[in-house]
Amino acid sequence: MKRPLGVSLISYFYMFGAGVMILTAIFFNANADEFGIAERFGIPNVPERIFRMIVAMGSLLIIYGYMRLKRWGFWLMIVYSLGFGVISYGLLFSHDKQPFIGNLIWSVIVLVYTLCVRRSFFTREKKYYEH
């Protein structure tokens, strides 16, 4: 089955984000941000560099399944979008709202689009073999 254009665009966006996350894990000054990604997830005692690598590698795994139109890629993207959306929504009330509004909107867009193209993840091409 041909991959929907939106799945490709979302995947490339997340690949770029994972690459940036890996680079910042290597070259990031942990004291540069007001609060890091680990703190946003509610686990401030985890080292920021390690947590950035874990999130980046996890998102690359999700993207692999999502781009390949795997069922598990669909479900992991749903959970990933819901998780980041809920975290962004929660942070709206405790920090500067602008970046978290954008993150929340993006999570909703990915979630809605993924649900709209769910058939791409759950249909299998029939392969006929000659015996």
Is residue 81 a contact partner of residue 59, using CB atoms and an 8 Å limit?
A: no
Averages of pLDDT over each 10 residues, the chain, 131 residues: 90 95 80 68 80 92 96 96 90 75 92 96 63 45
pLDDT value of residue 30: 57
pLDDT value of residue 47: 83
Among candidate residues 46, 18, 48, the one with its CA nearest the CA of residue 34: 48
DSSP structure class, residue 34 = S
3-state SS, residue 129: coil
Q: What DSSP element (H or E) covers 22?
A: helix 5-27
Tokens of residue 99, six digits: 């970046």
Q: Structure pTM?
A: 0.84
Among candidate residues 16, 3, 1, the one with its CA nearest the CA of residue 114: 3
Among candidate residues 113, 119, 129, the one with its CA nearest the CA of residue 9: 113
pLDDT value of residue 14: 96
10 Å CB burial of residue 121 (0-12, 13-18, 19+) is: buried
pLDDT value of residue 39: 74
